[in-house]
Amino acid sequence: MAAAPGWQPAEVLRLAASPDQYPPHVLAEAIVGAARERRLDLSVPSDVTEVPGRGLGHRGRHDASGAPPAWTLAADNQALLDGAAVAWVTVDSCPAGAVLLLDPVRPDTPRTLRAAGIERLLTLTDDRAEQAREVGAVLGPDDVRAGLDPTDKVAVVQAERERAVTAMVGDGVNDGSAPAAADVGVAMGTHGSTASSAAADIVLTTDRVARLADAVLIASRARRIAVQSALGGSVVTTRRRKPSRASRRR
């Protein structure tokens, strides 16, 4: 948590959490949860506008044009050291503070997905390049694309479809269109947004991407059983239609 001069960290968190009470994004839930743990008195927002990839209400990316205040540079440096995402809080277009969010990395996820037959893994994020590279070093995907807005993610998915059958996993509003552009769209049902779930072919009911490997194995087994059943039915039908020798004699 970082606060601009004249602001208290608790007030910054309260301002960030108040409009975040309603969007189903995982980061919004994390901010609201932190505010409620501190028993902050959240207000009921009105006239809330959400821009995919940039935030909602008065919360969004810090405008880096001009000379940034010293406290914003300190917040950026702290986020870089911690590998955290930053939600900037502004009031009347002036930065009031920043909320730093840490997302634990599960290093076993790529191995699980590759074991299920997924050959190429990409990480698409709107986070800064430094943070994306750090996560990529732990996870080991084939490629990491950072600083992407929703349109950029759709373009990447469409390009990957030219290479092979592609699945896209999304968990937020800024991922809503990308799963729809893939051959198979996957939404994180526990923390994912309604937009992602509505556009997806598969909704994972846990927040673990590794569950996609289970879905791949289940789909492969179901297809194998369906093909075996279809072939078996064709053989039985062919045998029943073949006339016997007695019938031909008659």
pLDDT bracket for residue 61 (50, 70, 90): very low
pLDDT reading at 244 higher than 60: no
| Alpha carbon distance 154, 169 (integer Å) | 12
Q: Which two tokens stand for residue 73?
A: 């540079």
Longest dimension (CA), the chain: 104
pLDDT digits (tens, 9 = 90+) for 135-157: 777 778 899 898 888 889 999 99
What pTM did the predictor assign?
0.59
Our count of domains for the chain comes to 2
Q: Which residues contact 250 (CB under 8 A, 6 or more apart)?
A: none
Range of the domain at 135: 123-213
User: What's the CATH code of the domain at 44?
Assistant: 3.40.1110.10
Give the angle 229-233-235 at the CA atoms, nearest 5°.
Answer: 120
CATH number of 136's domain: 3.40.50.1000
What is the Cα–Cα distance from 5 to 15, expressed in whole angstroms? 16
Q: Hey, what are 64's tokens?
A: 């880096």
Instruction: Convert the pLDDT of each residue in 36-57 to its tens digit.
Output: 999 999 988 877 776 665 555 5
Mean pLDDT is highest, among 3-17, 112-126, 222-236, for 3-17
- Are the C-beta atoms of 87 and 27 separated by less than 8 Å? yes
68-74 average pLDDT score: 87
Would 7 be classed as within a structural domain? yes
**Judgement on whether residues 91 and 161 belong to the same structural domain of the protein:** no
